[in-house]
Each structure stands twice: as structure tokens, then as C-alpha cells.
Amino acid sequence: MITGAEAIVRCLENEGVEIIFGYPGATIAPLYDKLSKSNIRHILVRHEQHAGHEASGYARIKKKPGVCMTTSGPGATNLITALATAYMDSVPLVAITGQVSSELLGRDVFQEADITGAAEPFTKYSYLVKNAEDLPRIIKEAFHIASTGRPGPVLIDIPVNVQQQRFDFAFAGEVNLRGYKPTIKGHTGQIKRVCKAINNAERPVICVGGGIFAADGQGELQRFAEMLNIPVVSTMMGIGAVPTQHSLNMGMLGMHGKSIANQAITDSDLLIIVGARVSDRAVLLPANVGKNTKIVHIDIDPTEIGKNLSTLIPVVGDAKEILIQIMEAEPDRKSEDWTDLLKAKKDKLELDYAPRRSGINPKAFVNLLSKSLPDDHIYCADVGQNQIWSAANCEVRTGRFLTSGGMGTMGYSLPAAIGAKIADPEKTVVAVCGDGSFQMHMMELATICQHGVDVKIVVMKNNKLGLVKEIQKKSYKNNECAVDLTGSPDLVSIARAYGIPGQRIDSMDSADGAIAEMLSCKCAYLLECVVDENESSI
């Protein structure tokens, strides 16, 4: 006989869990007690939301579910934004929350929150465990559901008495869920139709989204694009699926994307969407696409197909598998003019990298920064103008670009960077944020120090909530309100107070030196970059 808490630890070990990001409390205390005796490393965060984001950054790099753990009530509700963020970006998480004793459920006792109910719209699945004997099965199912099909967060809410309950432990058998059988292989009939459409297309474009990373199919995508000489555009979540400097990569599409990418979609006669939701930010006027464009949509989630764009050829399954299937069917495209035309246009694009009268040029800076980083660096962009500067100008070669694409959660970059660095300590990891987003995650500087996490932090400081300011300028007659960040601290001093070195630069002249110093530092580093408040995002 062992306790529920011991059983949870055994099951987590059995799932290969090495790291848990968490924050303790009364109702999760039995589990913490047993976890401390395990080899699983616990990373104590400074806010529960960041436990979720760190697990997300970890999952995206480690390619397996990230695990986070909090107590009941406020601990659990603080996690919700992270669950929603992971849900929108299809990141596999297993979130464990403590809960009040099961006989007290529904009585509004201290630190009780109906977290399975509250998180219902933001989780792929959730469990409220009523009996410890169910734990082995539930934990196995949770990892299975989180990591297969379209990945996503799974919540396991475990009352404190269930953690203490003693029972005869046995590992669960194979997972068999009648209502959950994701399709992996593409339908062969549909593959044939795709090949025919490719063969007949004069102006095909591939639009790649985050699904390609979930399928781990970047290599196949690049091979597919090269084999058929088809230009590639990406959503924000798809950045880096094909290296940003690849000749076929036309950049990010959408509201904040490259005009050439948007133009390519508008002019195309065949759009091959791979693992993308084509949300409002990606395709501004979905009704206009498709009039003259045939759409092939490859997605593991059949509900995404036809949701935002009417699709001619849906292919449900794993993006990597389907790309392999298509290549094996040997499509044969003859026309080359289209790709050459786009390439020529791309070469003529003028980049706005000129020095500024005040502050740095953030576009030039992120470009320079990413060029200075090793090829396989991990670049975490926050939300706001900094995200758009980064998405449009940073070079992703063999590494990854991590950002909160769907939810647009401010304060994601630093915790995601921490998770990514812990997942792969060999990689250089940078978090690029604004001064608004930095102040939503700056408590995690303590997590960095406590656990010796070497992440580089770049803060674009303009003392404004720049993106909102831009919206107010454009759509609200320049009525600037609630976007002034006066009162913010000196960020370099804040970092120093944590023992993190850093410096401030206010001109591109010092950029090279500052980046070199930051990268040569063997520990975390904060670089504050002064940006003019009127700098536009595009």
C-alpha cells in the first residue's frame, strides 16, 4: 500500500518526467513531500502563471509534455492564463493542481476553486480525481492526451485526501479511449487530389503554422518546398519552420506580416496550408482568399479545416506524415516563373534599418542580435511591438522562435525562455520583451537566480505600451490613454538587485559591443534598449 502522492510521483517518473515547474501550498503538500524524495527536479517559480509558461517553453523545446504544479484556489486560478496560452498554441502540458478534501468539495471552503470548471474552455481535457486508485490510469491518459493528436494542456485536479489515501498501487495498462483516436496518416485519395492540384498549379504557395513543430516536420517541409520549388509563407507560430533566410521563405503573413507574403497569398492559385489555423491575424480578409485560390488544408485537427477558410482539399493527419506521403506520390510541378518572380521581389525589399535620432532602431537591433547568436539559438519574443519587430526581423536558422502567438499573452517570453533553457541547456536562449511585458514577468528574475538559468534578456524600453499607443493613434484620434509607463523602475538596477549583470544602450553604435558583452557573460544578463516612443511596429 502506498499513498496517492507516492503513486503520482511513480507515475510521473514512469512518464519520463524530469522537471516540474511549480509553487506549493497546503492542498498540494502531500505531493511535494513525496516529490522531494524523487529524482524529479522541481523549479520553484515566483508566480503560478509562470509555472505554466515555463512548462510551455520546456515542452516546445523538449518535444514532450511540460509539467506544472500548483496548489488549489488562487494557485490554480493563477495558472489559467498559462493554460489558455498553451491551449491556443497547442502546447502539450500536464498541469497538476491540489484541491480541497473531496468531502468538502462544493462547500466553498478555504482555497477551494472549481478549477476543472474554470479551466474547461482552456484545456484539452481535465480530471477531478475522486479516488487514488484512478491515479495511475488518469496520469497515463493525461500524458497521452496532452502529447498526441493536436497537443494541448491537460489538467489533473487532485484533492488533498486523495493524495493521502493509501491503496494497492499498480501501473495502468495501455491507454484506450473510445472517444479519442487522432488520425495520423492522410487519406490516400486526398493525397492524390493534392498531387493533382500541385501539378496543375501555376502559382502555389505553402502557408506553414505551428503545427509543423508539433509534428516535428520542419525538415520534411523544407524538402517538400525545395523539391517542388514552392514559396513558403508562415504564420507567427510557423516562423523558423523553414530558415528565415531560405530563398523560398517569403516571411510572415498577416496584419503585421511582410507585404510580399500577403501578396503571394492573394496572387496564388493554390494555397497549401500546413498546420495553421489561419486566424484573423494571419489572414485579414478570409473571404477574399479562395475566390481564385484553391485551398489545400493539412491539419491534425479536423475542426480547424474549413473553420476560417473554405477548403477545397482537406487532409486530416500529422503534418510530417502527410508531407512524406505527398512526396512519395511524386507530384511534378513544371512552372518556375512564379517562384522566380517572388524571389526577385523579395530581393528588392527595402529594410528599415537606418539609425534613429533617439534610441536604437529595434528592427535593426533584433536582426543584428539574431545574426550574432549561434545558428541553433532559441529566440523568445514577448507580446506587443517587440513581438512584431522580432517576428519580422529576427533570423531563425536552425533554432526556434517561441512566442505566444494565439493568446498574445504579455509576460510569456521570459518564463518560456527559462523553460526552454532548462529543456536544452546547451542552447543560447534570449527573451526579447518590452518594458510593459517585462513588468509582467520580472518576478521570475528570482527563479533565474535561484536555479542558475542562463537566459539573456533584452528589454525594449520606450516607457509606453507601444502597440496600444499605436492603436489609439490610428483608430482613436490619437487619444493616448493608459499607455504611459511612467513609474517604471530602472531595469538595469532591478537586474543588479538580483545579482544579474546588465547595461542600457540608447544608440545602435553601442549595439554590437553590448550584444557581444551579453553573449560572453556566463550567466543571465539584462540588456535594456532605449527605443523612441514613436517607433512604429511595422
Name which of 40 and 105 has its Cβ closer to another protein.
Answer: 105
Site map for another protein, 99-138, x if CB under 8 A?
------xx-------x--x---------------------
CB nearer another protein, residue 105 or residue 523: 105
Question: What are the angstrom distances between the C-alpha of 62 and each of 14, 162, 409?
Answer: 17, 30, 21
Distance CA 309, CA 360 (A): 40
The x, y and z cell numbers of residue 498, run together, are 538580483
Q: Closest separation between CB of residue 303 and another protein, Å?
A: 19
Pairing state between β 294-299 and 313-316: parallel
361: left (phi over 0), alpha (psi -120 to 50) or beta: beta
* Separation of first and last alpha carbons in the chain: 62
At position 216, the amino acid (one-letter code) is D
Nearer to another protein, 103 or 336 (CB): 103
Q: In 3-state terms, what secondary structure has residue 261?
A: helix
Q: Taking CB under 8 A as the criterion, which residues in 333-352 touch another protein?
A: none
The residue written with cell numbers 509534428 in the block is 215
Nearer to another protein, 114 or 133 (CB): 114
Q: Least Å distance between CB 102 and another protein? A: 8
* CB closer to another protein out of 79 and 194: 79
Q: Are 241 and 396 a contacting pair, CB within 8 Å?
A: no
Min CB(407)–another protein separation in Å = 23
Question: Using an 8 Å Cβ cutoff, are 233 and 205 in contact?
Answer: yes
Residue 181 beta carbon to another protein: minimum distance, rounded to whole angstroms: 22
Rounded least distance, CB 76 to another protein, Å:
14
Shortest distance, position 449 Cβ to another protein, whole Å: 40
Residue with Cβ nearer another protein (106 or 374) = 106
User: Using alpha carbons only, what angle is made at residue 351 by residues 350 and 352, rounded to the nearest 5 degrees?
Assistant: 120
Smaller CB distance to another protein: residue 131 or 310? 131
Distance CA 228, CA 251 (A): 18
Cβ atoms of 500 and 449 closer than 8 Å: yes
Residue 408 grid coordinates: 498574445
Closest CB 128 distance from another protein, rounded Å: 9
Shortest reach from residue 274's CB to another protein, in Å:
35
Is the Cβ of residue 129 or residue 296 nearer to another protein in the bound state? 129
Number of residues that bind another protein (CB under 8 A): 4
CB of 122 to another protein, least distance (A): 15
Smallest gap, in angstroms, from Cβ of residue 106 to another protein? 4
216: left (phi over 0), alpha (psi -120 to 50) or beta: left
Taking the C-alpha atoms of residue 401 and residue 395, their distance in angstroms, rounded to an integer, is 9
Q: What track of x and - describes contact with another protein for positions 9 through 38 (by CB under 8 A)?
A: ------------------------------
Give the residue with the Cβ less far from another protein, 122 or 389: 122
Question: Positive or negative CA dihedral for 466, 468, 473, 478?
Answer: negative
What does the per-residue mask of binding to another protein show for 48-87, with x meaning CB under 8 A? Answer: ----------------------------------------
DSSP for 317-360 reads: S-HHHHHHHHHHT-------HHHHHHHHHHHHPPP-----SSB-
Which helix (H) or strand (E) element contains residue 42?
Answer: strand 41-44
Q: d(Cα 280, Cα 389) in Å, to the nearest integer? A: 19
Which residues are CB-contacts of 259 (< 8 A; sequence separation ≥ 6)? none
Which C-beta is closer to another protein: that of 106 or that of 513? 106
Query: In terms of Cα–Cα distance, which of 94, 166, 149 is closest to 123?
Result: 94
> Between residues 13 and 120, which has the closer beta carbon with respect to another protein?
120
Specify the DSSP element, H or E, that contains 14: helix 4-14
Minimum CB distance to another protein, residue 162 (Å): 14
Would you tell me which residues interact with another protein (CB under 8 A)? 105-106, 114, 117
